[in-house]
Amino acid sequence: MKFFYSSIIVVLFLLSIFDLIVGLINDAVNFLNSAIGSKVASRKIIMSFASLGILLGAVLSSGMMEVARKGVFDPSYFYFSDIIFIFLAVMISDIILLDIFNTLGLPTSTTVSMVFCLLGGAFSIAIIKMSSPLNNEPFHHLTLYIKTEKTLTISIGIFLSIIISFISGSFIHYFIRYLFGFEYENKLKHVGVIWTAISLSCMTYFLIIRGLHSTFQGFINNNLTGFSLFIQHFIKCIHHNFFIFLIILFLTWTIIAKIFVSLGYNILKFVVLYGTFSLAMAFAGNDLVNFIGIPIAGIQSYKIWIKAGSPPPEKFNMKGLSGNVKVPSIILIIAGMIMIITLWFSKKTKNITSTEINLSRQNEGSEKFLSNSFSRGIVRFFLYFGKSFFKLFPKRFLVKIEKNFKQKKIQKKENIAFDLVRASANLTISSILISIATVKKLPLSTTFVTFMVSMGTSLSDRAWDRESAVYRISGVLKVIRGWFLTGFMAFIISGIIASFLYFFKEWALYSLIFLILFVFYKSYKKYHQKKRQKEKPFFDIIVNIPIETTLNKTFYIFKTILEYIEEMYKSSIEGITQENFKTLQYSRNIFLKLKENFKNIQNTLIQVIRNTKTSKTTYGIIYLHIYNKTKDIIESSDIITNHTLFHVINSHTPLKYKQKKNLLILENLMIEHFHIIKKITINKNLQKIQFPCTIQNKILNKIEEQMNQQVMGIISQKYGKKNTLLMLDILLQSKKITKSIKDIILLYKKNISSKKDASFIIF
């Protein structure tokens, strides 16, 4: 039995390394997004500032933690075996949950995950102990095991932090943007200096309170050293002379900012990098112990049990664990180094940061999230509310305000998600809110605050316009839903794992180790599959080049689309004639991949046409027409793949022999047509093509003939309703595909090939 619990301690130690990695991947979004989104510096410089903050936070960390994570449960009501099972369940559940969210690219709260994992594990073990024949305790005794008041306080704090952060970010940044405008460079000498002094003062106070106060408060009455005693007196002095300290900070940073501005340096860059450093330091100094605290508490429990002579673990009470657990400094420094290595080399951090940047970006681009009825309702409500509200103000007043919210045209071309003003506002407002919560000892999630502040500032900057509002709101709601789902899932998963360990012990441990390895393998495989799909699209569109070159490159695009349409069409006809579900599913998957890649063209359509010079508007018109015809081909393919698959899935009446024969004849003609067009794209010569084209006429005539046969079959009641509608869909969409291809070729022959400069070709 001693070997079994020793094995659990080893597993806890190994899991703490994994937890550090997945935790850092998730929480990196808190201190990286403002710097990355504004492109304040190269990624290496940003990561260097963040790494320095993490390392300093780890070095200064006190290493003290509450064993039950802010008193979620009382260890004195549990035995050694219970505590070990709870801790192991917490680590396994936390790693699995965070890895799932990291793979999906959604930020969540490591604090919430840890708290509710502890709560779920302790709750399940407590219920088992209370309901056992030896105890048979009433249900209300659960409050002795679980500190429900503390749990409720944490839950309320989470909910309030989401609302307060969003409102604060929206209102505060609205006035900041009004003062700066989007053409902020000219205002750096005056408004910029004042805002810089305010920002750096707030973040310095945040650094001291969140970074040093929380760090050294664990040393009170615990062998204070000279340095830590000095820090304690320094912090007390700040609390007693709060306003004087802030005024000194403000004046100091004003002088420094004035000097840098006079030298021609953009001081907002320093604000953003300083904020990145301070948030990273606070994260490491306070949240680092969250990831390794549970394993350290497990080791401490094991030492207490061994010191007591290794009594029966099911009967040894853990009163000795009610105090604080000291984490050695060397372990914290090693943990900090692991997090820094993860920050630099993990590619999943980019996946998570992209979610927040996508939702808050100022420039145009594809939306990551789809709209839903709730987000559409919110947008309609605020549109109506906005019209009514702004009627209360004079038009001159509104026009004057609107001037400061005109966006900078150059910014869009630079492909920056948002400017330095908003980046500095994100960091400053987040620092203020987290500092207030720390001083008031309110439970708070750093992830929730930084994310919602970022969403609020993007709303103030009009990044959520009528073109994108429903998608952005839908994305924010999805992330928030994921946060609450984190707590629920953590509670359930941890409770199940703890119960499993309690009853099956060794077998449960081996099974759970296998589960973790399996989850990581599947997550790794899924992530790299998605990565390969993104890295190897069917085609790319380059928008920052002349339209003539773009038209030349679209020639390859049309050839690629034809290849996939051919494969999809062939699979659909073979699948429906043979009633082969797998073939039809394969056809549908091909179409979905094609549709996803075609979004590259759809999302850049406007940008490509904007590159058209006034003297060459014809090229822009041609590109638009070709885009529309290609879109028609893809929409027709959508109907064919969807309806054939739907017909077989629902086990509708199979096609008649005559219908199958007609479709196979049509398939051969369509494939021949695709081959001819592909040869044309390879040779890049349409001069010898004669219209009307023979193969196209054959296809259209055959479709008309088959439609007439279908009508006769309906009159004679030879065909059923479902297979008749399916045949009509296939025939009509095949006709549309053929005509669209013909229109594209005609468009080229008429408008481009006759011109002298025919060195490029379209589609």
What CATH number should be reported for the domain holding residue 583? Answer: 1.20.58.220
Residue 308 lies in a domain: yes
**For 544, what's the count of Cα atoms within 13 Å in the CB-facing half-sphere?**
4
**483, 502, 534 - which closes a domain:** 534
Length of the chain: 763
pLDDT value of position 615: 52
Q: Give the mean pLDDT of 314-324.
A: 77
Check residues 194 and 603 and name the one with the higher pLDDT. 194
Mark whether 446 and 595 lie in a shared domain. no
- Top mean pLDDT of 16-20, 174-178, 744-748 is at 174-178
| Separation CA 651–CA 663 (nearest Å) | 19
At residue 80, does pLDDT exceed 70?
yes
Identity (one letter) of the amino acid at 739?
K
**Residues in CB range of 207: below 8 A, 6 or more apart:** 278, 281, 282
Residue 541 lies in a domain: no
**534, 556, 578 - which closes a domain:** 534
Mark whether 601 and 627 lie in a shared domain. yes
| Separation CA 165–CA 454 (nearest Å) | 9
Q: Give the mean pLDDT of 432-450.
A: 73
Mark whether 739 and 660 lie in a shared domain. yes
Mark whether 71 and 167 lie in a shared domain. yes
Residue 759 lies in a domain: no
Mark whether 385 and 286 lie in a shared domain. yes
- Top mean pLDDT of 39-43, 159-163, 532-536, 633-637 is at 633-637
pLDDT band for position 762 (cuts 50, 70, 90):
very low
Residue with tokens 């004639």: 577
Residue 280 lies in a domain: yes
Mark whether 256 and 123 lie in a shared domain. yes
**118-132, 216-230, 726-740: the lowest-pLDDT one:** 216-230
**48-67 confidence digits (pLDDT tens):** 998 888 888 777 665 445 54
At residue 717, does pLDDT exceed 80?
no
Q: Give the mean pLDDT of 697-708.
A: 89
Residue 756 lies in a domain: no
| Separation CA 73–CA 131 (nearest Å) | 18
Mark whether 301 and 352 lie in a shared domain. yes
| Separation CA 453–CA 463 (nearest Å) | 14
pLDDT value of position 690: 58
Residue with tokens 């056992």: 132
At residue 366, does pLDDT exceed 80?
no
Computed over every residue of the chain, the mean pLDDT equals 79
Q: Give the mean pLDDT of 167-171.
A: 90
pLDDT value of position 62: 54
At residue 365, does pLDDT exceed 90?
no
Q: 298 to each of 9, 82, 87, 367, how far by Cα in Å?
A: 7, 11, 7, 45
At residue 497, does pLDDT exceed 90?
yes
Q: Give the mean pLDDT of 359-364.
A: 68
**24-38, 610-624, 708-722: the lowest-pLDDT one:** 610-624
pLDDT value of position 572: 92
pLDDT band for position 6 (cuts 50, 70, 90):
confident
At residue 450, does pLDDT exceed 60?
yes
* Structural domain harbouring 139: 2-534
pLDDT value of position 734: 92
Mark whether 608 and 514 lie in a shared domain. no
Residue 298 lies in a domain: yes
Q: Evaluate whether 573 touches 726 at the Cβ level (below 8 Å).
A: no
Rounded to the nearest 10 degrees, how much is the dihedral formed by the CA atoms of 398, 404, 406, 410? 180
pLDDT value of position 749: 67
| Separation CA 452–CA 430 (nearest Å) | 9
Q: Give the mean pLDDT of 511-530.
A: 78
**541-569 confidence digits (pLDDT tens):** 555 555 555 656 666 777 788 888 999 99
**221-230, 521-530, 664-673: the lowest-pLDDT one:** 221-230
Identity (one letter) of the amino acid at 596?
E
Residue with tokens 């809110």: 433
Q: Evaluate whether 102 touches 351 at the Cβ level (below 8 Å).
A: yes
| Separation CA 704–CA 301 (nearest Å) | 82
- Going by the DSSP 8-state scheme, the letter that residue 134 receives in this structure is T
Residue 196 lies in a domain: yes
**507, 534, 561 - which closes a domain:** 534
**For 481, what's the count of Cα atoms within 13 Å in the CB-facing half-sphere?**
7
Residue 758 lies in a domain: no
Look up the pTM and report it: 0.74
pLDDT value of position 182: 81
Check residues 533 and 340 and name the one with the higher pLDDT. 340
pLDDT value of position 364: 62
Mark whether 380 and 419 lie in a shared domain. yes
Residue 746 is inside which H or E element, if any? Answer: helix 721-751
Mark whether 529 and 570 lie in a shared domain. no
Number of domains in the chain: 2
Q: Give the mean pLDDT of 396-419.
A: 68
| Separation CA 231–CA 219 (nearest Å) | 11
pLDDT value of position 736: 92
**564-568, 684-688, 700-704, 745-749: the lowest-pLDDT one:** 684-688
Q: Evaluate whether 763 touches 677 at the Cβ level (below 8 Å).
A: no
Describe the crossing of helices 721-751 and 547-578 by its angle, rounded to 10 degrees. 160
pLDDT over 70, % of the chain: 80
Q: Evaluate whether 296 touches 331 at the Cβ level (below 8 Å).
A: yes
pLDDT value of position 413: 45
Q: Give the mean pLDDT of 350-358.
A: 66
106: left (phi over 0), alpha (psi -120 to 50) or beta: beta
At residue 275, does pLDDT exceed 80?
yes
pLDDT value of position 214: 53
**Residues in CB range of 687: below 8 A, 6 or more apart:** 753
At residue 702, does pLDDT exceed 60?
yes
Mark whether 418 and 449 lie in a shared domain. yes
pLDDT band for position 758 (cuts 50, 70, 90):
very low
Mark whether 569 and 614 lie in a shared domain. yes
pLDDT value of position 493: 92
pLDDT band for position 262 (cuts 50, 70, 90):
confident
